[in-house]
Amino acid sequence: MNAFVVAFAGHSGAGKSTLIKELSLLMGDVNVLRIDDYDSSSYPPAVQWRADGADPNQFQTPQFLSDILALKNGKSIFHPDTNQEISPARFLFIEEPFGRGREAIGHLIDFSIYIDTPLEIALARKLLRMGDLISQGNSDITVEEHLHWYLRVGRSFYIAVERNARKSCDLIIDGTLSTDEMAGITHKAINSTLEN
């Protein structure tokens, strides 16, 4: 039996990881892949990407794609970060910023979710997370540097990504809801899809 692939999209700080963790507990038998764990990926410079028309297909993630395909088809993989073997499960949750927007991955996704979190809330969460990393000595960038990037290109970059992700998603969920509420709504929507 093929894995049911659920994609989670949203701004950095939208709450994707938190929702995935909570929803995994509700669904059971879940594997999780995060695009950020793949160092082999190739991304275009944000400014040039927007100037060229913001085509999501310019984001190349061959190993991420290969691992999704393998797990969807019932084959084991090795996690790109931990190198631990991951056996197939009934569900595969992926953090994919464009949802179904990228041609290479879009056809593999059975259910796509966009977490609609206001930009200022997502930014505040991101800065709090960065503050924790900085205090632990685990950040290569300062809060000030991130804010300069955000004002120069980050905000418009996130908006362009959002436009792509929203186009073909199955569920847009309010990112200001509690994690329990978001997980409950998402759980119900996925189960309804599975029953049809």
Query: In terms of CATH, what superfamily is 4-195?
Result: P-loop containing nucleotide triphosphate hydrolases (3.40.50.300)
Matching residue, tokens 């205090």 = 135
pTM, 2 dp: 0.92
Domain range summary for the chain, segments of one domain joined by +: 4-195
Q: pLDDT tens per residue, the chain (196 residues)?
A: 689 999 999 999 999 999 999 999 999 999 999 998 998 889 999 999 999 999 999 999 999 999 999 999 999 999 998 899 999 999 999 999 999 999 999 999 999 999 999 999 999 999 999 988 888 888 888 999 999 999 999 999 999 999 999 999 999 999 999 999 999 999 999 999 999 7
Phi-psi region of 28 (alpha: psi -120 to 50; beta: other; left: phi over 0): left
Close Cβ partners of 43 (under 8 Å, ≥ 6 residues apart): 58, 59, 60
What is the distance between the alpha carbons of residues 32 and 83, in angstroms, rounded to a whole number?
14
Cβ-contact 30, 90 below 8 angstroms: yes
